[in-house]
Structure 1
Amino acid sequence: MKKLIYLFALSISFLACEGPQGPPGLPGSDGGLFVASAFEIEINFNAANNYEYIENYGFDVYPSDVVMVYISWETDNGQDIWRALPQTTYFNEGTLIYNFDFTQDDVRFFLDGDIDFSILASEWTQNQVFRVVVIPADNVDGLDLNNYNNVIESLNIQSLKAQ
């Protein structure tokens, strides 16, 4: 009989486990899932902009966040192929490097290398498409950041905002 009363009291205590709602989660999180922000941008590099372009995010980026940039490198059977920056190309005249850096406020895209950028054909400087992914630091461990598709799938990014 004591066992039966004990089991009854125990089952009631599990049914009555309700309390006030806990405090809200950290900024940038959604029910324990960190939300990554991403956008796509098309850039023309030229002497007038010193072969660089700076873009403000338009959303909060925290000091611990990591920013990755990918360039649309080629298309295969209608499928875009993305490569992580920096990306290097070799010419007889020298080396071209697509590169980036970032702060908490913006991301800077720039051409680097020892080639004279003014001799590059427009295919290397005009209409260059980049994708920027801001990754909360908690999501970086074990993630292959060089693989664009892996990053997008792991962070569950459904669509990209145009900048």
Structure 2
Amino acid sequence: MKKILTLFAVVGLIVFSSCEGPEGPPGQDGVNIVGTVYENTSSNYYNFTAQNNYKVRFNFPQRLFDSDVVLVYRFGGVDSGRDVWEFLPETHFFDDGTRNFSFDFTFSDSFVDIYMNGNSLTDAELNSFRLNQIFRIVVVPADFAAKVNKNNFSEVMQAAKLSETQIQEIKF
């Protein structure tokens, strides 16, 4: 009896291990990154004033995953016809090398706060940095962010396989 059970077990193992189902659809080469980019446009500038304590908040439309990270870029102008996106934190210095002001941010799974801090934020000279600011907020998986040059917005977009048409407008 033991020999018959052993024989059935061996035959069953061979039969089931050689079974194969239909071939699945072809996959994409490389890694598929799920990322999202948000931007406040010129119709919705961010302003850093004493009234808002030099801080603005963007609430994500849905909660982020625990494994997501947020990258923030400030529009710094145009150079040779191309937009310049400056990665935060961003610090500006006086001519003597001392810190003047900084942009920085904090985030949770439901919002990102972008804030400005420094010596004399009410100086009219800082209006070009305090008023009418545009930001791009990028949400990507943490393991992706660890492998990409975060200082270069274009490289982040390219690595995440995102296009300008996929940027979601922030409306308030």
Moved over 3 A (4+): 91-94
Residue 139, structure 1, aligned to residue 144, structure 2: yes
Unaligned runs of 5+ in 2: 1-17, 25-30
Please say which of residues 141-150 and 96-105 is displaced more in the overlay.
Answer: 141-150
Amino acid of the residue matched to residue 37 of structure 1? T
Larger Rg: 2
Structure-1 separation of matches of 2:60 and 2:124: 29
How far does the alpha carbon of each residue in 1:87-127 deviate from its partner, in whole angstroms, 9 at most, with x for none?
111236951101111111100010022x1111143211111
- Alignment correspondent of 1:27: none
Count residues with an aligned counterpart: 138
Q: Offset of 1:18 from its aligned partner?
A: 2.5
Q: Aligned pair 1:152/2:152, yes or no?
A: no
Which deviates further from its counterpart, 104-113 or 70-79?
Answer: 70-79
Distance 2:139 2:108 in 1: 11
Aligned residue number for residue 103 of structure 2:
98
Q: Which amino acid aligns with 1:50?
A: N
Quick one: which amino acid aligns to residue 18 of structure 1?
P
* Amino acid paired to 1:160: I
- Work out the CA distance in 1 between the residues paired with 2:81 and 2:102: 25
Structure 1 gap segments, 5+ residues each: 1-12, 22-31
TM-score scaled by length of structure 1: 0.75
Q: Which amino acid aligns with 2:144?
A: N
Identity of aligned residues (%): 29
Match of 1:162 in 2: 169
Match among 116, 120, 125 for residue 116 of structure 1: 120
Aligned counterpart, 2:7? none
CA RMSD across the alignment: 2.3
Partner of 1:85: 88
CA distance in 1, matches of 2:142, 2:89: 20
> Which of the two has greater strand per residue?
1
For residues 2-21 of structure 1, the aligned pairs below 5 Å read: 17-18=21-22
Provide the C-alpha distance between the structure 1 equivalents of 2:116 and 2:101, rounded to a whole number of angstroms: 7
Measure, in 1, the Cα distance between the counterparts of 2:33 and 2:90: 28
Secondary structure of the residue aligned to 1:40 is: strand
Q: CA deviation at 1:156?
A: 1.2
- Cα distance in structure 1, aligned partners of 2:152 and 2:79: 16
CA change 1:59–1:119 in 2 (3 A) is same
